[in-house]
Amino acid sequence: MFSPDTEDEDIPMIECEGPGCGNGRWFHLECVGLTEDSVPEGSWFCSTTCRSAVKVRVAEAVSDDLVYEYSRRVTWAGLNDMVRRDAVRHNDGPMMLTYWKADLLNFLAYNHPKYFILGHRLIACKLYIMF
């Protein structure tokens, strides 16, 4: 797939926009089965490997903003705590159970199996009594 003869400057070429492309960077249009009329708009990748490498890079760039992620999580935790406090103040049992269901995911994610089991028993017992 790589076009080794790059001495002829009159032949149109296309660049693979994959980071660290293993097949080479520039390709003759005829070597990759394209014509000047069929050149795609935007980015062109020589293989699915190059295309997926770009998707991985974009995902890494999004997760690199740790300050934003931290701020977002703290904001949501604060809002949830405010609503939870209101549910406790108003003695709203069904709403408190809803928050226990959400907490189960946190217990499981942060490796607290004891609290996960206790929360599950609380919810299962409450649901059993309701029906």
> pLDDT tens-digit profile of 40-75?
787 777 777 777 776 666 555 555 677 888 888 899
Enter the tokens of residue 34.
Answer: 């394209």
pLDDT of residue 75: 92
In eight-state DSSP terms, residue 33 is: T
pLDDT at position 129 is: 57
Q: Give the Cα separation of 18 and 46 in Å (integer).
A: 8
Do both 50 and 75 map to the same domain?
no
Higher pLDDT, 42 or 8: 42
Residue 70 resides in a domain: yes
Does residue 78 surpass a pLDDT of 60?
A: yes
Instruction: Dig out the tokens for 63 from the structure.
Output: 């997760």
Above pLDDT 90, what percent of the chain?
A: 2
What is the rounded CA–CA span in Å between residue 15 and residue 25?
Answer: 6
H-helix or E-strand spanning residue 107: helix 93-109
| Domain-embedded: residue 5 | no
Residue 77 Cα distances to 3, 29, 67, 86, angstroms: 55, 53, 15, 14
Domain count, the chain: 2
Average pLDDT for the chain:
76
- The arithmetic mean of pLDDT across residues 76-90, rounded, is 87
Give pTM, 2 decimals: 0.37
pLDDT > 50? residue 2: no
Residue 120 CA to residue 54 CA, distance in Å, equals 41
73, 36: one domain: no
Residues 51 and 87 in one domain: no
Is position 7 within any domain? Answer: no
